[in-house]
Structure 1
Amino acid sequence: DLPGVILDALRGVDMILHCGDLECLGVLDYLEEVAPLLAVRGYEDPLEDGDRLALTTRVVKAEGVSIGMVHDIQWPGPKIPTSPDGTELMYPEGNGREIMARKFKEPVDVVLFGDTHEELVTDWDGVLIMNPGSPTYPGRRHERGVLGTIGILDIDGEDATARIVDLKTIS
């Protein structure tokens, strides 16, 4: 079971988008107690039939916003490297909006990714990019054994804003 503070922090959202490293399908079932859920698979995650867990990438439409989801921002290509500690993106040459459109096979306004477990909110050529970190296996900037972070994406028409919620501050 996930700590209750995670579900409490998610109450009131319209949808949960999970970017992988879920370890077992029960995590998705548990999160669906709060809101409908769509996910992309992490490298070690189990497979599942149906639409809720995509193999590599997916694009979700929410109001007027197109959201690209991927576990590892470096794969599938085009590759967008991360810094050695996983806390920053190392942008390749070219237009970010065009590069992301190639990655997701269509234009996107927002990109959500996981893998590094390092929370990040940034903008690249008009594409909002967020890694929510991890609530249960936070990245290097966090003390082991304590709760980490989740991300909240607020959408109003064609506008999206992202924020990181540090679960230690609400537990």
Structure 2
Amino acid sequence: MKIGLISDTHGLLRPEALDALRGCDHLVHAGDIGKPHILEALRELAPLTVVRGNNDPQEHWPGVAVEQHLRLGEMGLYVTHELADVPEILPPGTDVVITGHSHKPLEQRRHGVLFVNPGSAGPRRFKLPISVALLHVEGRQLRVEFVHLL
């Protein structure tokens, strides 16, 4: 299974991001969406899980939660926009935590849980890279691939 991870689009969905996510079995947008057309375009590619970011006010995004916990295959995923909002005690069965917000790609393990930030796929911020990530899942094996867009 291949899960596409995208965050911090801030209203800009680059064609390169869509190309990188094409062929994924599921997509996750980790917040700071910006505009509804972003989610519409992503939903055309694959089933989508999305959370609101700090720049996505609830009144503009009714029904979009600030956190999600889901199972894909054998993996439990917890999604929220800011790393600071990840609870110290994760929901049972969480194997992967997906966040955004910092605009910095990140892959690290904490207490046996994989933490991934795909970086920002939206407007460039300072000199940070523009990227998405692909989470390759084979049974219980996980591999993260960052795709730098520009």
How far 1:161 sits from its partner (Å)?
A: 1.6
Query: Percent identity among equivalent residues?
Result: 29
Q: 1:127 to 1:138 in 2, by over 3 A?
A: farther
Bigger Rg over Cα: 1
How far 1:2 sits from its partner (Å)?
A: 2.2
CA contact (8 A) 1:19 1:114 kept: yes
Question: Does the alignment pair 1:106 with 2:92?
Answer: yes
How far 1:105 sits from its partner (Å)?
A: 3.3
Question: Does the alignment pair 1:115 with 2:101?
Answer: yes
State TM-score, norm by structure 2: 0.82
Identify unmatched segments of 5+ residues in structure 2: 1-11
CA contact (8 A) 1:66 1:110 kept: yes
- How many residue pairs match? The answer is 136
Give 1:136's aligned residue: 122
How far 1:65 sits from its partner (Å)?
A: 0.6
Q: Which has the higher contact order (CA 8 A, sep 6+)?
A: 2
Give 1:160's aligned residue: 142
Question: Does the alignment pair 1:65 with 2:51?
Answer: no
The one-letter code matched in structure 1 to 2:29 is H
Question: Does the alignment pair 1:14 with 2:25?
Answer: yes
Write the distance in 1 (CA, Å) between the matches of 2:91 and 2:136.
24
Write the distance in 2 (CA, Å) between the matches of 1:5 and 1:48.
28
Q: How large is the Cα RMSD of the aligned pairs?
A: 1.8
Q: 1:31 to 1:112 in 2, by over 3 A?
A: same
Question: Does the alignment pair 1:150 with 2:132?
Answer: yes
Write the distance in 2 (CA, Å) between the matches of 1:12 and 1:127.
26
Identify unmatched segments of 5+ residues in structure 1: 79-98
CA contact (8 A) 2:119 2:132 kept: yes
CA contact (8 A) 1:118 1:139 kept: no
Give 1:56's aligned residue: 66
Q: 1:129 to 1:140 in 2, by over 3 A?
A: farther
